[in-house]
Amino acid sequence: MMSVVENHAAILVVLLPLLSAPLAMLFGNRHVAYLLSIASSVASFLLAIYLVLLVKDGSVLSYHIGGWAPPLGIEYRIDAANALVLLIVSAMSVAVLPYARTSIKKEIAEKNHALFYACFMLCFTGLMGVTITGDAFNVFVFLEISSLSTYVLVALGAEKDRRALSAAYDYLVLGTIGATFFVIGLGLIYMATGTLNMVDLSERLATMEGNRTVRSAYAFIVIGMGLKLAIYPLHRWLPGAYTYAPSAVSAFLAATATKVAIYVVVRFMFSVFSIQFGFEQDTLKFIFFPFAIIAMFAASFIAVFQVNVKRLLAYSSVAQIGYMLLGIALFSATGLSASLVHLFNHAVTKGALFLAVGAIIYQTGSPMVAHMAGLGKKMPWTSAAIVVGGLSLIGVPGTVGFVSKWVLLNAALEVGLWPVSLMIVLSSLIAVVYVWKLVELLYLAPAAEDSQVTEAPLSLLVPMWGLVLVTIWFGFNADFTVQVSDMAASSLFSGGFGKEAIIMGTEGRP
Amino acid sequence: MTPEQLIFAALALPLAACVACVVFAKQENLRDGLTLIASIILLVTVVTILQQYQAGAVVEASWWNFSPGIAIAFKIEPLGLVFALVASSLWIATHIYGVGYMRGNKEKKHARFFACFAFAIFATMGIAFSANLLTLFLFYELLTISTYPLVAHKETPEAKAGGRTYLGILMSTSIVFLLTAVVWTYVISGTMDFKPGGILTGKTDAAFMAILLGLFAFGIGKAALMPFHRWLPAAMVAPTPVSALLHAVAVVKAGVFSMLKIGVYVFGVDNLASTGASQWLMWLAAFSILAASLIAMQQDNLKRRLAYSTVSQLSYITLGVALASSMGAIGGGLHIVTHAFGKITLFMCAGAIYVATHKTEISQMRGLGKAMPFTFIAFGIGALSIIGLPPLGGSWSKWLLMVGAADAGQQIMIGVLMVSSALNVAYLLPIFGQAFFDGSAKSDGKGFREGLKEAPLLCVLPPCLTAAGCLVLFFYAGRIEEFLAPIVLGGS
């Protein structure tokens, strides 16, 4: 039994949540649906840890689906980069689901709970699939699975606020445009090379830098994913979707969806196309670099003026995505590593923050910043979670946000770009403003006199504080995250994805 | 106990006191008693570390890595030990004073107050014992954050505004300048460990060295070098024990201590002298000394006057670093101690006056000396020590700084220090004088002095003790100087 699990860990990580989704729907009972979802999430999480440990030393795993060898069959291919993302996504699912069980009681009608879990698991499956696969077209398939279910999840917020429908519709339109661009790009490179396997693609594309089809394919893919990852100014869908989705969904999306999209861009830029291509370096220099910096400032600045706390966090996410893109745009192994570390760190931080804010909305019924006045006393644990998460957004030492800033500054100064380092530190000052706005309200403003607000229930506090503790723990001790990211970055840079892989799951097959 | 355990204890004790304050928030005697016990054990611990260090033991500790190759590490060296001794001994005095003040003044939210206070001491210990720039930065930021609730303690609009200025200046300077400087140093020299003689020698040219020094000097906003000094007067909205321990001792001294530590162990005195990278800093410090004194003279609010006096005195220490001579650095180190005792006395007296009379303006304090003799005599002793007259501790540090200036061939700086002393006389002594020798106030007929007496014992005893400390320091300054001497030995 154990050996089966070990041999087929790569597929089980996706298959278990995929199976739980229709089962949840068929049973239709919210308790059964919850149990199925949490069980498969935990299983995926454990398997993801197992995979991370396998690739931590820099080796690459390959799993052939159905025993069909690539490039004809679909291959799952795992190195440190996507193992890290698998870990983030599955960990967030484990953290958010128990929270969702309580939080959706006030947001979604009971008859729809099973539907919620089914969609959630489909979304989870899609994100895991996008991350783990080594087949370019398979990325598209899983991307659509996750996107379509996300549209439904966002729209489920409509029972509380009808604006969720238009937010979901916005997201649907823009997300579909993104996906279409992406698939057009895939079509073009398939036309040019005749293959869809990533390793195969990279071998054939290596000599095709001048090919115009390849170039346009690249443009379509990067812009398509750029929409999905909300690169400034393609971020318009994000604030609405995060604001009006049910709290648990906001937390899960904020922590995972954009991260996976960034991973896909990195994978295509470094492992499918060659980073040595002139047009790729131009993208980094003339698109990612300036827009990352604009995002860092503009989105943070917009966040300062938000009156809805979820929207505030959403704009803060757009700004943080800027930091991740900046790390990639620095075009060095340390820069890329800084981005990958920030993927993890920001996922944990923003996840914790959205859960905390969700708990406030659960107790007070209002997402308005002004209604948070004086809650520091009434909801001490939730408020403290917001403070820690906020400090992490600013990048105060002792939180994961500091680790991100540390490695990013290191990377910027290492390549001699001191003005960039200045931009990084200056933009984080804007975070001080919007975080402190919340802190002052929570602790120093008087509460409304007739306010009967009490602390959130334990089922909300435990997942929230789980993530807060992770925020602090990896803020003091970043050995593990930095090591894995360094390994992933150096492997991406040296084309380690295509190297001789350990083939999993061949035992007992004909 | 092994050295490692001792360092652990020095960090864990204030943290435990912080936890105790939260857990026993309601039982105030138990809470304050436990904190007092923790503060006494902390002093014992630091003294034990001192003994072990003097016995020749290498006292260092590191429990985990921050990231591959970079550790959160602690190491005992003379400068940090002196700073830790000052902070931990004054914590006891201030805690007793704080209990008296908070109760006598009927302030609210004692538990939060003492918890944050203890946490600030924890951060201070971390700064004192830090073995590399990263650890220093980590605790430096923790100190900023843990003191913010203390500054904004009263929750009034003024307190909130003061808190914003406080956090805004300290946080932005540390994020923008200090963090950049720390990372840059790491990128250039490949290490962040403090080493006698410095780690930057020969790694970069003189011009860049000056820029880096600038990033550090302005980044350490807690050193209150002009033009980033405004947080210090703004922080005076805090209850007086906070002003006393944190804004006369722990926080500001953490700033100048970091400055000194970085000057001595990152740049190296010889390196600064040979490259001349600190010339501009010397002039800026001199300007800061004089300008802040002049501003202090115009303040009628006692705490604000003391705050500007602190800004001026802190620049003495920055000047000590910038002089780039051994005596300057040692004088700076000594000044951390003597100024701490002098200024905390003054602040505690200001608080005692407030508790007894609710007077904050100097002009309202005429003739109070008769009613509150102990408070004002302690005030006078503290003031004389700040001015630098024998037989008080402050005279030695000023003397050493002047010797340092002479060594460095900067005669003008000797002049600056002398002018500054004269200014100190002008803005401190009148307060003392008018309390005792102002006859006009007696006949104003308002009679507010009738029935006026000293503040409660818990508020009067601590300043008397620290004033006595100023006297004692005069006789022990030589030993501190000897103890500090190794910090400027070259990195051979």
Predicted local distance difference test score (pLDDT) of residue A510: 46
Which chain A residues are within 8 Å of B149, Cβ to Cβ?
A: 443
Q: CB of A354 within 8 A of CB of A313?
A: yes
Name the 3-class secondary structure at B57: coil
Q: What is the pLDDT of residue A507?
A: 58
Residue A50 covered by a domain:
no
Angle at the Cα of B83 (from B81 to B87), degrees rounded to 5?
115
Interface mutation target, options A403, A423, A438, A440, chain B, most CBs of B under 10 Å = A440
From the list A403, A410, A476, which residue is nearest B187 (CB)?
A410
The reply to whether A317 falls in a domain is yes
Chain A residues with CB within 8 Å of chain B CB: 391, 394-398, 403, 405-407, 409-410, 413-414, 418, 421-422, 425-426, 428-429, 432, 436, 440, 443-444, 476-479, 482-483, 486
Do A63 and A76 touch, CB atoms closer than 8 A? yes
Answer yes or no: is pLDDT of B491 > 50.
no
**Quick check: is A152 in a domain?**
no
Between the alpha carbon of residue B305 and those of residues B205, B244, B341, B377, the distances in Å are: 41, 13, 17, 19
d(Cα A169, Cα A320) in Å, to the nearest integer? 25
A276/chain B closest Cα distance in angstroms: 26
A422 CB neighbours in chain B (<8 A) are 176, 180
Separation in Å, CA of A374 to nearest CA in chain B: 11
Higher pLDDT, B245 or B136: B136
CA-closest candidate to residue B308, choices B364, B251, B248: B248
Q: What is A204-264 written as a DSSP string?
A: HHTT-TT-HHHHHHHHHHHHHHHHHTT-TTS-THHHHHHHHS-HHHHHHHHHHHHHHHHHH
pLDDT band with cut points at 50, 70 and 90 for residue B248: confident
The pLDDT of residue A506 is 67
- Could you give the CA distance from residue A330 to residue A418 in angstroms, rounded to a whole number? 12
- For A414, the closest of B68, B176, B187 (CB atoms) is B187
Residue A482 has its nearest CB partner, among B67, B167, B176, at B67
The number of beta carbons lying within 10 Å of the beta carbon of residue A4 is 12
Chain-chain contact of A410 with B183 (C-beta, under 8 angstroms): yes
With a cut of 90, say whether residue B211 has pLDDT above it.
Answer: no
Binary contact (A479, B152; C-beta < 8 A): no
List the single residue in A with minimal CA-CA distance to B183. Answer: A410
Q: How far B362 CA lies from chain A's nearest CA (Å)?
A: 30
A420: domain range?
280-476
**Per-position pLDDT tens, chain A of length 510:** 677 787 888 889 999 999 999 998 888 888 899 999 999 999 999 999 999 988 888 888 888 888 888 878 889 999 888 899 999 999 999 999 999 988 888 888 888 888 999 999 999 999 999 999 989 999 999 999 999 999 999 999 888 888 889 999 999 999 999 999 999 999 999 999 989 988 888 888 888 888 889 999 999 999 999 999 888 888 888 998 999 999 999 999 999 999 999 999 999 988 888 888 888 888 888 888 999 999 999 999 999 999 999 999 999 999 999 999 999 998 888 999 999 999 999 999 999 999 999 999 988 888 888 888 888 888 888 999 999 999 999 988 889 999 999 999 989 988 888 888 888 889 988 998 999 888 888 888 777 777 778 888 888 899 999 999 999 999 888 888 888 898 888 888 887 777 777 888 765 554
- Who's near A70: CB < 8 A, 6+ residues apart? A62, A64, A134, A135, A197, A199, A200
Residue A259: closest CA among A347, A167, A319, A331 = A347
Of A396, A413, A426, the CB nearest to B141: A396
End-to-end CA distance of chain B: 32
- CA A481/CA A404 separation, integer angstroms: 10
Interface with chain B: mutation pick from A304, A425, A434, A472, highest number of B CBs within 10 Å: A425
Choosing among A344, A403, A444, A483, which should be mutated to test the B contact, i.e. which has the most B CBs within 10 A? A444
**From the CA of B62, how many Å to the nearest CA of chain A?**
12
Q: Across the strands, what pairs with B73?
A: B62
State the Cα–Cα distance between residues A139 and A278, nearest whole angstrom. 25
Query: Using the beta-carbon criterion (under 8 Å), do B68 and A413 form an inter-chain contact?
Result: no
> pLDDT per residue over B6-50, tens digit each?
888 888 888 888 888 888 877 878 888 888 888 888 899 888 888
| Whole-angstrom distance, CA of residue B182 vs CA of residue A188 | 48
SS3 of B73, please? strand
CA distance to partner chain A, nearest, from residue B213 (Å): 16
Say whether B179 and A486 touch across the interface (CB within 8 A).
no
CA atoms within 13 A on the CB side of B346: 30
In a domain, A386, yes or no: yes
Q: Output the pLDDT for position A317.
A: 92
Q: How far apart are CA A436 and CA B174, in angstroms?
A: 16
The residue in chain A having the minimum alpha-carbon distance to the alpha carbon of residue B144 is A396
Q: State residue B441's pLDDT score.
A: 52
Q: Which of A407, A477, A483 to mutate to test the interface with B (most CBs of B within 10 A)?
A: A477
B56 SS3 class = coil
Q: Chain B: nearest CA to A422, how far in angstroms?
A: 7
Residue-level pLDDT at A160: 83
B175–A395 C-beta distance less than 8 A: yes
CB pairs under 8 A between A and B: 79
Coil, strand or helix at A396? coil
Nearest CB partner across the interface for A478, out of B66, B141, B172: B66
Q: Report the chain A residue with the minimal C-alpha distance to residue B163.
A: A440
Q: Alpha carbon of B115 to those of A114, A368, B14, B111: distances in Å?
A: 46, 31, 9, 6
For residue A409, which residues of chain B lie inside 8 Å, CB to CB?
179-180, 183
C-alpha B330/C-alpha B481 separation (Å) is 7
This prediction has a pTM of: 0.89
Check CB contact under 8 Å for A440 and B160. Answer: yes
> Does residue A98 fall inside a structural domain?
no
Distance CA B401, CA B146 (A): 33
DSSP letter for each residue of B364-410: GGTTGGGT-HHHHHHHHHHHHHHHT-TTSTHHHHHHHHHHHHHHTT-
- The whole-number pLDDT of residue B442 equals 52
Beta bridge partners of A368: A308
Instruction: Please tell me what DSSP assigns to residue B323.
Output: T
pLDDT in tens, B398-435: 888 888 888 888 888 888 888 988 888 888 888 888 88
Alpha carbon distance A152, A164 (integer Å): 10
Q: Do B68 and A410 touch (CB under 8 A)?
A: no
Tally of CB atoms within 10 A around B448: 13
Both tokens of residue A197? 């396997």
- The pair of structure tokens assigned to A112 is 């729809």
C-alpha to C-alpha distance for B200 and B265, rounded to whole angstroms: 9
At B112, list the tokens. 């939060």
Hey, what are A362's tokens?
A: 């659960």
Bridge partners (DSSP) of residue A133 are A76
Examine residue A131 and state whether it is found in any structural domain, yes or no.
Answer: no
Query: What's the CA gap between A328 and A412, in Å, rounded?
Result: 11
The answer to whether A138 and A42 have CB atoms below 8 angstroms apart is no
8 A C-beta contact, residue B332 and residue B81: no
To 10 degrees, what angle do helices A247-267 and A212-228 make? 160
Select the residue of A394, A432, A476 nearest B72 (Cβ to Cβ): A476
B chain contacts of residue A395, beta-carbon cutoff 8 Å: 175
Residue B60 DSSP code: E
Q: What residue type is assigned to position B51 of the chain?
A: Q
Domain residue spans of chain B = 3-488
**Residue A394: inside a domain, yes or no?**
yes
DSSP A63: E
Tell me the mean pLDDT in the region B90-109: 81
CB contact under 8 A, B142 and A397: yes
Distance from C-alpha of B9 to C-alpha of B13, rounded to nearest angstrom: 6
- Of A269, A282, A277, nearest in space to A489 by CA: A269
Whether A421 sits inside 8 A of B152 (CB atoms) is no
> What pLDDT does residue A509 have?
54
Phi, psi of B63 (to 5 degrees): -105, -25
Among candidates B138, B164, B172 on the partner chain, residue whose Cβ is nearest the Cβ of A398: B138
- Which member of A395, A406, A476 has the closest CB to residue B64? A476
Would you call A483 and B68 a contact, using CB atoms and an 8 Å cutoff? yes
pLDDT computed for residue A326 by the predictor: 92
Q: By CA distance, what is B139's nearest residue in A?
A: A397
Nearby residues of A399 by Cβ (< 8 Å), 6 or more positions away: A349, A388, A391, A392, A471, A472, A475
The predicted-structure confidence for B153-175, as pLDDT tens digits, reads as follows 888 888 888 888 888 888 889 98
Cis peptide before A290 (omega within 30 of 0): no
Helix axes B78-104, B28-54, angle to 10 degrees: 160
Helix (H) or strand (E) holding B40: helix B28-54
Does A406 sit within 8 Å of B183, measured CB to CB?
A: yes
- Is there a contact between B456 and B99 (Cβ–Cβ < 8 Å)? no
Asked if B172 lies within 8 A of A432 by C-beta distance, the reply is yes
Question: In degrees rounded to 5, what are phi and psi of residue A78?
Answer: -125, 125
Cβ neighbours of residue A248 under 8 Å, at least 6 residues apart?
A: A96, A97, A99, A100, A103, A104, A355, A358
Q: Which residues of A touch B64 (CB under 8 A)?
A: 476-477, 479
Nearest CB among A396, A405, A413 relative to B184 is that of: A413
Residues B212 and B181: beta-carbon distance below 8 Å: yes
% of chain B with per-residue pLDDT over 70 = 96
Domain count, chain A: 1
